[in-house]
Amino acid sequence: MLPDSKSTNVCIEKECVWLVRRVVLLLTVATLELRILIQKIMLAALLASSVTLGAASRPGSAHALPADVASLNPPLLVNRSSRPKTVEVNIVAAPTRLSLMPGKMTEAYAYNGSVPGPTLEVREGDKVIVHFRNDLDEPTTIHWHGIHLPFEADGSPFHPVAPGKSRDYVFTVRPGSAGTYWYHPHPDHRTGFLIAKGLYGGIIVRAADDPLPKSIAEKLLILSDNRLNPDGSIDFPEPRSHHAAVDEENGREGNVLFVSGKVMPTIRIRRGEVQRWRIVNASASRVYRLAMPGHPFMHIGNDGGLFEHPVDAKEIVLGTGERVELLVRGTDKPGERRVLRALPYDRYIPQTRPDDWKTTRDLLTVETTSEPPPAPVLIPAVFRAIPPLDIAKATATRTIVFSQGMINGKKMDMSRVDFTAPLGATEIWAIENVVGMDHPFHLHGFQFQVLDRNGVAEKFRSWKDMVNVPKHETARIIVRYDNYPGKWMFHCHILDHEDHGMMGVLEVK
Ligand code: C2O
Ligand code: CU
Ligand code: CU
């Protein structure tokens, strides 16, 4: 990072401390005033460092964006509805043959022929109608990971879609839920296999009043890995082999890392430009410790959307199923390149820890172009208010014990309800990982807030539907069951663990 941006970041921190104090003060007064404050106080953060960079410093010819850059974001689902506030799309899951690895063809499964599937882009308040057809030769579903919706639309194992059959998923996007989500199959026992075959896609929920400037370019970076044979075919271990047992223990990891379906793509950025990266971890088990050496991120959001204010981060640990939103700023000289890396992360038990776990993986290259710097943008110091769920209102405290392959000593049973809670209740869940391997917890249907990890209070609030619980640690969350009765899954999001029974059912009624 250049020194000028460092000082900007410091300035942001101070500004934030000051703002938080103001916000706390004002919250006790009136939320209306807070809104006005948010609108009024715009911080000249991330002011472009364009002073030393004029048009004169542009070497060579103007830079046209090559096709690979334009196509890094997956295609969008086409809205077939002409009604206002309605998004109506068609999705077909079907076998296909496509190129995952350059120069190789792969027998895969795809949503509408693309891996990742086309992005579902909607706005808060939209009515969403998805006409889904299953052209696979096995049952499947589409689960809308993280979205607050009716039970019948959840695409959980309770509502399988048989081969050749169709199902409509209908839901209304809740106000305040703007953020980055994703969709994937969720049939009983087969989620890991179907995602490995290529079935996953992104969801962007846009806010009516997004506090970030519209001029900022956005990238949807869906991280996934796959194990591919040299001929391009997807490599699954022989059932009951040693390799299968290791996969079942660790969760399947792949030798090829993809960003939105591309291997080591290049993102181009102008010096002084700010980009908004929405990152999804769609991997079956891989945890990404993201870093761009010497170039901190501005972390602006999590699973359920924007934070209250931006936070500087040198590294981001992105567990399976999780999403983050980052602001990345071009600070290098034209022509310079930087690599977004996944640093080693030890989530394993020693017995099955892969030999190469300490390898740093390259994900993508960021190249600074010679185009003139864009006009500076203003990043607000406060994005929105995230009111805390009230601990005093919690009517139950539940303990979820993650051991290897089980939750509270039990394997998943579709005919069993593990917990029952009244609609509207607020509850605290303590997720205790009693084994020497990380297990990422996920709850369907409801966003929650993390209270503390290992007794240490969470530094700031955010909306989450995932929390990675590291080996021998405990995380406590608070959740309120708004609106929708039904049977909601909670599970470990290492897909092999989920498929082998690390899942339970919460019935809200
Ligand atoms: Cu992303 Cu139950 O799933
Ligand atoms: Cu989910
Ligand atoms: Cu697990």
The C-alpha atoms of residue 376 and residue 309 are separated, in whole angstroms, by 19
What would the mean pLDDT of 111-121 be, rounded to a whole number?
98
What would the mean pLDDT of 157-165 be, rounded to a whole number?
98
Which residues is 117 bridged to in the sheet? 201
Q: What is residue 428's predicted lDDT score, i.e. its pLDDT?
A: 98
CATH number of 391-508: 2.60.40.420
Q: What is residue 212's predicted lDDT score, i.e. its pLDDT?
A: 97
Contact 504, 418 (CB under 8 A): yes
CA-nearest residue, atom 1 of ligand 1: 145
What would the mean pLDDT of 190-214 be, rounded to a whole number?
97
Q: What is residue 70's predicted lDDT score, i.e. its pLDDT?
A: 53
Q: Is the pLDDT of residue 225 over 80?
A: yes
The CA dihedral of 63, 69, 73, 77, to the nearest 10 degrees, is 80
The C-alpha atoms of residue 421 and residue 258 are separated, in whole angstroms, by 40
Q: What is residue 240's predicted lDDT score, i.e. its pLDDT?
A: 94
143 CB within 6 A, ligand 1:
yes
Q: Is the pLDDT of residue 43 over 80?
A: no
* Tens-digit pLDDT profile for residues 394-433: 999 999 999 999 999 999 999 999 999 999 999 999 999 9
Q: What is residue 449's predicted lDDT score, i.e. its pLDDT?
A: 98
The two tokens of residue 75 are 């295609």
Which residues is 453 bridged to in the sheet? 456, 475
491 CB within 6 A, ligand 1:
yes
Q: How far is CA 14 from CA 7, 26, 108, 188, 418, in A?
A: 11, 18, 50, 49, 46
Exposure on the CB side of residue 297, measured as CA atoms within 13 A: 23
Q: How far is CA 62 from CA 65, 152, 327, 370, 371, in A?
A: 10, 52, 25, 7, 6
> Domain 62-384 class?
mainly beta
| Reported confidence tier of residue 329, pLDDT bands at 50, 70, 90 | very high
Which atom of ligand 1 sits closest to the CA of residue 186? 2
Q: Who's near 39: CB < 8 A, 6+ residues apart?
A: none
Q: What is residue 32's predicted lDDT score, i.e. its pLDDT?
A: 33
Contact 37, 337 (CB under 8 A): no
The ranges assigned to domains in the chain are 3-43, 62-384, 391-508
- 325 compared with 31, residue with greater pLDDT: 325
What would the mean pLDDT of 256-281 be, rounded to a whole number?
97
Q: What is residue 30's predicted lDDT score, i.e. its pLDDT?
A: 38
Q: What is residue 363's predicted lDDT score, i.e. its pLDDT?
A: 98
497 CB within 6 A, ligand 1:
no
The C-alpha atoms of residue 461 and residue 448 are separated, in whole angstroms, by 10
192 CB within 6 A, ligand 1:
no
Q: Any idea which ligand is nearest the CA of 186?
A: 1
Amino acid at 276: R
What would the mean pLDDT of 61-77 be, rounded to a whole number?
60
The C-alpha atoms of residue 185 and residue 200 are separated, in whole angstroms, by 7
Q: Is the pLDDT of residue 357 over 90?
A: yes
H or E stretch covering 202: strand 201-206
Q: What angle do CA 482, 321, 263 make, to 5 degrees?
A: 150
CA-nearest residue, atom 3 of ligand 1: 145
Q: What is residue 54's predicted lDDT score, i.e. its pLDDT?
A: 25
Q: How far is CA 491 from CA 251, 324, 430, 439, 445, in A?
A: 14, 20, 14, 9, 12
Contact 404, 67 (CB under 8 A): no
DSSP characters over 50-111: -TT--GGG--SS--PPPHHHHTSSPPBPPP---STTEEEEEEEEEEEEE-SSTT--EEEEEE
What would the mean pLDDT of 203-214 be, rounded to a whole number?
96
The two tokens of residue 352 are 């099955």
3-class DSSP string for 424-474: CCEEEEEEEECCCCCEEEEECCCCEEEEEECCEECCCCCCECEEEECCCCE
Q: What is residue 31's predicted lDDT score, i.e. its pLDDT?
A: 38
Q: Is 391-508 in the same CATH topology as 62-384?
A: yes
Lowest mean pLDDT among 41-50, 146-155, 246-255, 341-350: 41-50
| Reported confidence tier of residue 113, pLDDT bands at 50, 70, 90 | very high
Which atom of ligand 1 sits closest to the CA of residue 491? 2
Q: What is residue 21's predicted lDDT score, i.e. its pLDDT?
A: 37
Q: What is residue 71's predicted lDDT score, i.e. its pLDDT?
A: 67
| Reported confidence tier of residue 68, pLDDT bands at 50, 70, 90 | very low
Which atom of ligand 1 sits closest to the CA of residue 156? 2
